[in-house]
Amino acid sequence: MRYFLIGYFILAMICSVSSGSQAKPGQITVLSVEGRAQKLVASDGKNTWQPIKAGEKLSEQTVIRTGFRSSVVLRFADRGEVTVRNATKMGIGEFRKSGDSVRTRLGLKYGAVRASVDSSRGPNDWQVRTPVATLSVRGTSGDVAYSGDGGARCKGSAGRWSMKTGSRSRIIRPTEMSSTLVSGGGGLTRSINIFKQARDMQMGDTFGGLSRPEKKTLVNHGTGPSVLGAVKRKARRRFGNRPARLGSSSSQHAIGGSGDSE
């Protein structure tokens, strides 16, 4: 039995090594270029920056930098797209396909990228590394940014992301945002704060402020331990169990504008 197990593990190791050696570099195509963008291919040894053109193929170990009012859209074979935004420097560390699975490693020195990953064609091991944190895509799409004074930030659009720094990690769901402190070292956003951000976003932040029905709803139904919540509690204390109402009683679900006729 012991020999059988040892043999099994040796066979498994050989299989894993052989499958690793079969990993082939995937094809990265530049879909579009806007403004000024340059590339540096580390593997060719020339160490010169050249302009990027739409339609050209990029290889691993390529560094891309963009200027003001610029962006580059990259297509990673059949596995997704990455938009390199303005004033960004990003490196393609690895993009390899082994059977159905794909392993991608991107490095972000500064700026922001939007990643959109297609996981329907097979397993993806997709990571974006910043100086202070590593973001891995478990789902579909989201934005990753790193700046010298803002640290690393990730905002999920669809699917889940994982943000890891040191031994700590956070799962980021759609519309949630997580960040690290500039120096990293475990300074991830607390889970409760991620939840609060997600909750606050429903209050009209993305649309430039609160609408009147939303304000009514918040005054009437409270938002927890905030200023409006305190108003509500104070009103309850003063007038018994009847909260002060601003508008019609049909504003139960007015966040999102569906419950009020105004």
Partner 1 sequence: MSNIKYAATVTVALIAAGLAGCETPGITNPQAKLAAGEESPGFIDRVSSQNTVSENDAMRGALMLLDGKDTDRVFRQRVEVLKSRGIVPNRWRFTADKPITRGKLAYMIYQVCKVPGGVILALTGPTQRYCLRELQYRGFIASGAWYTPVSGMEFIAVLNRADTYLQTGEVPAIMKTAWSR
- Closest distance between partner 1 and the C-beta of residue 186, in Å? 15
CA distances from 211 to 197, 214, 215 (A): 18, 5, 6
89 versus 96: smaller Cβ distance to partner 1: 89
Q: Residue 140: how many CB atoms within 10 A of its CB? A: 20
Q: Which residues on adjacent β-strands are paired with residue 128? A: 106, 135
Residues 67 and 110: beta-carbon distance below 8 Å: no
CA 161 to chain centre: 6
- Closest distance between partner 1 and the C-beta of residue 33, in Å? 12
160 versus 236: smaller Cβ distance to partner 1: 160
- Closest distance between partner 1 and the C-beta of residue 242, in Å? 33
191 versus 252: smaller Cβ distance to partner 1: 191
Binding site for partner 1 (CB under 8 A): 35-38, 49, 65-70, 85-89, 109-112, 143-145, 147-151, 153-155, 177, 179, 181-182, 205
- Closest distance between partner 1 and the C-beta of residue 233, in Å? 24
CA distance 112 to 145: 4
Residues 72 and 66: beta-carbon distance below 8 Å: yes
75 versus 109: smaller Cβ distance to partner 1: 109
